[in-house]
Chains A and B, each alone.
Chain A
Amino acid sequence: MAQNMLSRPAGKRGAIKESLGERIFTVCVYILFTLLGIATLFPFLNIIAKSLSSEAAVISGMVTLYPIDFQIGTYQWVLGNKQFLNSFKITVFITVVGTFCSLLMTVLSAYPLSKTYLSGRKSFLLIFIFTMLFNGGLIPTYLLMQKLGLVNTVWSLFVPGMISVFNMLIVKNYFEGLPDSLEESAKLDGASNVRILFSIMLPLSMPVMATIGLFYAVTLWNSYFNALVYVTDPALKPLQLYLKELIASTSEVMKLAGEIDINNDLNKAPEAVQAASIITATVPILCVYPFLQKHFVKGVLVGSVKG
């Protein structure tokens, strides 16, 4: 088929007059992307429908894209569940505080490193970049955290990942792109570097701050691994770890393995409760997503990846 089309001479205005093969191709591309979009959204839509359906409907496997026997009892249960709410609070705390600390540390490191006249800049950069290439690994880090007394504290959930060197490099590249004349004139007026950074450079860097801030926030919101490793106290479990355990407890594997079903005391179908919990934990991400989308499309990130 393809050869057939190749042999056709293209019209003078190729862009407008398409050959039959090209038109078929275009249609196929549109169909493909429509299907891809559906495949991406389907798991979300299915679980939303399930969270709003009755127990019987969920278990029968009848629920597809719309709720059957509509109910919102599962959400009432989830939002009234102490452990869920507590985990939600922990996650909000580490996301807000962690993002703030991360942004501050990232900016403070990125600004001096963006100054080509800083002597020793190359060596400092190497110190940062080396940590991207080589790391101590899980066990030595765990032992360090233990020694520092951070195990089973809320700090263990955001301090170990406070600076992402990758994000730092993005901010550094952005600073490098700002005009030097700003700095020069501010220095003539006697401003210190700290002052220049916080009163002149940062206000000009809002797009990259927003992008990086959202990235830190999403990472913190989504992380479960640190909690899995450093936290055993149920009062400190963030949302993702709570969900991980909830999902494990309702999946058939664990039932077979004879693990205790924490939802035994529930009158609801565990699957529907699980679905409602998943939706509730995902809604905040879906709320910030449009903002994320707006910023990363501007190419702030891509520029650095290519750099």
Chain B
Amino acid sequence: MDLASKTKPVPKKKPAQGRREKWGKFRKEWDLYLMLVPGLLFLLIFKYTPMYGLIIAFQDFSIFRGIGDSPWVGLKHFEKLLHNDQFYSVLTNTLAISVFKLVFLFPAPILIAVLLNEVRKMMFKRVVQSVIYLPHFISWVIVSGLFINLLSVNGGLVNALIVKLGGQPIAFFMDPGIFRSLLVTTEGWKEVGWGTIVYLAAISSIDPQLYEAAKMDGANKFQQIRYVTLPGMASTIVLMLILRLGNMLEAGTEQILVMYNPVVYNVADVIGTYVYRVGLGASDYSFSTAVGLFESVVAFILIISGNWLCRKYMGRSIW
């Protein structure tokens, strides 16, 4: 696709290449292929071999027998999965937390980006950006530490305030009614600011003449937002939404794994944490692999169909 725009030592219009020509080219550029070797080897070992390892979902895998000698059981583990109440509870949690996060955390960066675009004092804008991007670079362990510190029953500022106002202290991290909101809030605190970066870029690529024209037509700030800024961001918003939908079954495993505890398992246990506990905690390798495979396949289907929709209706592709 870039061939036309770039001049190359190779002929611009490629004639149908004979085998010899290809070989000649390979010999000329052999060191380029050599460079690819480490990367490809890495992928083969650490990414593609585990994909092959997925077949243990169809076996009664035993670590002593290995993949080669473990007995095949067909779809046994998937049937077990379909008749497993715990799996449904985990799936429900995953979807509930995902949807909860989507509803609150997807629009937030869009709103903030639009408002930030209205800030005319560059210094103020830059400081705000620096501050709200910062939590993205803090690990989930630290974030959970910060919030436990803030919300703890003994010594937490929030509970101190609640008590001062005459209320009962709340154990935020142990309350099944609150825990999901806590997940959404902490993820919002960590990622919403960073999320604005894509939208700010989309806004900055809007032609300033559109704003000039809108002003000439007498549009005020709100009308400019409504008729220039938002339409200018639309394709980016759709793209981000599709990417987000592809991640529906990833409700934030790393976050939940540091924040949850047995008291809130029934509302916070998601596929990722379940696989971790059943697979590595209880060493039920085959069953947990089946659960993991279910997640991978659904995610794959979601992202592929999302990309297809994107290409069909917007002429853009994610990759």
Contact indicator B279/A109 (Cβ below 8 Å): no
Q: Considering residues B141, B144, B150, which has the most beta carbons from chain A within 10 angstroms of its beta carbon?
A: B141
Q: Considering residues A19, A115, A140, A218, which has the most beta carbons from chain B within 10 angstroms of its beta carbon?
A: A140
Select the stretch in A78-86, A92-100, A129-137, A203-211 that faces chain B: A129-137
Contact indicator B149/A14 (Cβ below 8 Å): no
Q: Considering residues A25, A113, A143, A148, which has the most beta carbons from chain B within 10 angstroms of its beta carbon?
A: A143
Contact indicator A133/B300 (Cβ below 8 Å): yes
Contact indicator A253/B173 (Cβ below 8 Å): yes
For A42, the chain B residues whose CB sits under 8 A away are 150
**B137 contact from A32, A278, A289, Cβ within 8 A:** A289
Q: Considering residues A18, A132, A224, which has the most beta carbons from chain B within 10 angstroms of its beta carbon?
A: A224
Contact indicator B285/A143 (Cβ below 8 Å): yes
Q: Which residue of A lies closest to B218 (CB)?
A: A10
Given A40-B134, A61-B159, A144-B46, CB of A229 within 8 Å of CB of B280: yes
Within 8 A of B (CB), among A10-69: 10, 14-15, 18-19, 21-22, 25-26, 29-30, 32-33, 36-37, 39-44, 46-47, 50, 58-64
For A229, the chain B residues whose CB sits under 8 A away are 276, 280
Contact indicator A15/B295 (Cβ below 8 Å): no
Contact indicator A193/B49 (Cβ below 8 Å): no
Q: Which residue of B lies closest to A296 (CB)?
A: B197
Q: How far in angstroms is the closest Cβ of chain B from A223?
A: 7
For A105, the chain B residues whose CB sits under 8 A away are 38-39, 42
Interface of A is mostly: helix
Contact indicator A108/B38 (Cβ below 8 Å): yes
Contact indicator A224/B140 (Cβ below 8 Å): yes
A299 at interface by CB-CB < 8 Å: yes
Within 8 A of A (CB), among B186-217: 189, 193, 197-198, 201-202, 215
Q: Which residue of B lies closest to A113 (CB)?
A: B36
Contact indicator A22/B53 (Cβ below 8 Å): no
Contact indicator B215/A15 (Cβ below 8 Å): yes
Counting from the closest, the 6 A-B pairs by CB-CB distance are A136-B50, A140-B53, A61-B160, A109-B39, A137-B292, A222-B139
A-B contact pairs, 25 of them (CB 8 A): A14-B219, A19-B220, A43-B146, A47-B149, A60-B160, A61-B156, A108-B35, A109-B40, A119-B25, A135-B296, A136-B51, A137-B293, A138-B272, A139-B280, A146-B63, A162-B42, A193-B29, A223-B139, A229-B276, A243-B141, A257-B261, A289-B137, A292-B137, A296-B197, A306-B201
Known: A33-B128, A119-B25, A252-B174. 19 other contacts (CB 8 A): A6-B220, A33-B124, A63-B157, A105-B42, A108-B38, A108-B39, A111-B35, A135-B47, A139-B292, A146-B63, A184-B7, A187-B9, A218-B137, A228-B257, A229-B276, A274-B145, A274-B149, A278-B146, A282-B142
